[in-house]
Chains A and B, each alone.
Chain A
């Protein structure tokens, strides 16, 4: 890529500037490589904001489901921390099978204080935020 072709498109995501000034290898007029700095370009900005739209949707949907009593607050915080079942299971250090149960309201009710604390620590929240879900 030639230096004069380097794009400078700011990364606006969630209404905020998320740009990161990065180094890029480009050619000068003689075709010799040098470095320049840039903030991003439309294609990657679009890909990133699309990924966030998907995550935001999933979080919002899971929140509704918790309120309707279909899934447990753990399911909500799992989405909020951008985790999936296998990742969460490896953080908990137990089988997916067990963690899956904790994602249901009935399985969640059976959790003891130690287990709840463990989940709260993984999600970096207080235990009350799990037991008294406000979203």
Chain B
């Protein structure tokens, strides 16, 4: 069984890509940057107490599921979001939705997605994909970070949906139920920008938003004192990986957001947003430079105090820059 007319589109980020794919199926055509921006996907968080394989977690995006929910709400789309305690029930619900002709978005763990190159397959539980049919024992999968559609065995999909660890997907699946033909796009854009400004500027310190960037900057400076060189290099490497996490090219979603601001400038007829987009591109480039410098420090592995100090300083400057940016952006909408 295969849902006809479902169109696969490769995207930079999994959740904005899944949201795009699902909405597009119901005739709502929005670009990925618009979805990312309206969904307020831009974020920063550093959580030293949440460790994945002993390495503290860093994120450049909002928590899984947020973008889809927010975009649907803003566009007046009724959606269904479900989690399951039992695997069987979770798989039955998926089959029922597909049977009803609805493509389904799901949160999964990359570890069990056999179509990824092996080196990518870590226990990363925040990955989103769409199922748009089932043939025999295989689900037809549209994974937005892949170039083309793919397949996944029912056994693998079940494991991926019910993976444990942080954040546990618990079989989470979601799909639009009813769409509205008319929605206020400019208003949704404005509200998305405001929300991101709030996340970045007003999240409680020290872990999130610009506070989080500064916090990580201070932490990095202490890595060579507190950790052995090898661990320190691993910690820094993880920041790069999260920044690069599938399709961001070293900007940690900053380029995607700059593209959003450019589109927003058109929809809101606001040239100041164009200037903001340029600054966001430069901020993305600065993050890219940070990744370059971090890679150098990682390669060196000597635990040189001065080089870690430099990395920390770069982050503290980025925090200042993003603070200035969002304080200004807030006044534009």
Contact of A47 among B168, B244, B284 (CB under 8 A): B244
A98 to chain B, nearest CB (A): 16
Q: Chain B residues near A43 (CB, 8 Å)? A: 240, 244, 250, 291-292, 294-295
* Residue-wise interface mask of B (214-248) relative to A, using a CB-CB cutoff of 8 A (1 in contact, 0 not): 00000000000000001001100110110010111
Identify the stretch in B171-179, B194-202, B253-261, B315-323 within 8 Å (CB) of chain A at 4 or more residues: B253-261
Q: Chain A residues near B246 (CB, 8 Å)? A: 20, 22
Q: Which secondary structure dominates chain B's binding surface?
A: helix
A25-B298 contact in complex given A1-B281, A43-B291, A51-B234, C-beta closer than 8 Å: no
* B276 interfacial by beta-carbon distance below 8 Å: no
Identify the stretch in B68-76, B115-123, B127-135 within 8 Å (CB) of chain A at 4 or more residues: B115-123
B162 to chain A, nearest CB (A): 10
Q: Chain A residues near B33 (CB, 8 Å)? A: 25, 33
A18 near B251 with CB under 8 A, answer no
Cα distance A11–B246 when bound, in Å? 13
B244 near A91 with CB under 8 A, answer no
Cα distance A23–B145 when bound, in Å? 7
Q: Chain A residues near B294 (CB, 8 Å)? A: 43, 47
Q: Chain A residues near B230 (CB, 8 Å)? A: 54
Q: Chain B residues near A31 (CB, 8 Å)? A: 278
* Residue-wise interface mask of A (1-43) relative to B, using a CB-CB cutoff of 8 A (1 in contact, 0 not): 1000010000101101111111111110001110101100111
B107 to chain A, nearest CB (A): 16
A23 near B295 with CB under 8 A, answer no
Q: Chain A residues near B53 (CB, 8 Å)? A: 55, 82, 84
A50 near B298 with CB under 8 A, answer yes
Q: Which residue of chain B lies nearest to A55 when distances are taken between CB atoms in the complex?
A: B53
B contacts, CB < 8 Å to A: 10-12, 33, 51, 53-54, 111, 116-120, 122-123, 145-147, 164-165, 168, 230, 233-234, 237-238, 240-241, 244, 246-251, 255-256, 258-259, 262-263, 277-278, 281, 284-285, 288, 291-292, 294-295, 298-299
* 16 A-B contacts (beta carbon < 8 Å): A20-B117, A24-B12, A25-B255, A25-B256, A37-B147, A47-B237, A48-B119, A51-B241, A82-B53, A82-B111, A82-B123, A83-B165, A84-B51, A86-B165, A87-B123, A90-B168
